[in-house]
Structure 1
């Protein structure tokens, strides 16, 4: 079987092209071949953590149940309540038809409350009793105190003798 001249030429060019591609492929591998280098690690490698090993595992068939989920726990959304009043009435009097003077005892201190008096250390409405309570109003029957962190007013009843 004889091949025509143009087919022989194409066959020869195909063989030359395949040889050239094979030569190019092997010459790159020889140039970039890794060389052996001895290197000492600066730190010992940490063992793989069990969390990382379990994080990559996906449970394709998780356990399922027909029982309904428990109801969510209710969240207390009520406003915060102030502490109970730490004050008690230890004395009260009226001098020469003036407004009532009240002495409160609480938090280890005594506080003298009056509307208009000249007693040293007195507390008049609008002044603070201690760091948390302010005297708002003093009448013949009540003492109104405001717990300042919550702005909550509390009333302390007085005896009416």
Structure 2
């Protein structure tokens, strides 16, 4: 088995029923192309050392599930989460059954000027310890930033 602290994978699995369920044991996981071959329903609990995760081609319900894992799970090392939609994220579906509050960005939160894209900004709170995270959705990209 290959051991690494960081994985960047571009995998396409033809079998729609296949789900890889073992822990990778990495700190950084970047899955390009599709993540449907990887069981992500409990990935934050399974990957104890995970610090930064990027997943592509997700549905609204999968993005919702990733946020709920962080909210409802035990203490997690995840500081950054980048989720990319198949098309665009729906705020209503992505935040379904998630309590969030408005996030007023500071100057250090500001991105490049002139993108012209509408963004949804929210803060979510982890239940086990009350830690907060910032969530930003711009079209097909959801960015999650943990702050303590």
Same fold (TM > 0.5): no
Identify the structure with the greater strand proportion. Answer: 2
Normalising by structure 2, we get a TM-score of 0.21
Identify the structure with the greater helix proportion. Answer: 1
Relative contact order: is structure 1 or structure 2 higher (C-alpha 8 Å, sep ≥ 6)? 2
Normalising by structure 1, we get a TM-score of 0.20
Please say which structure displays the higher CA radius of gyration: 1
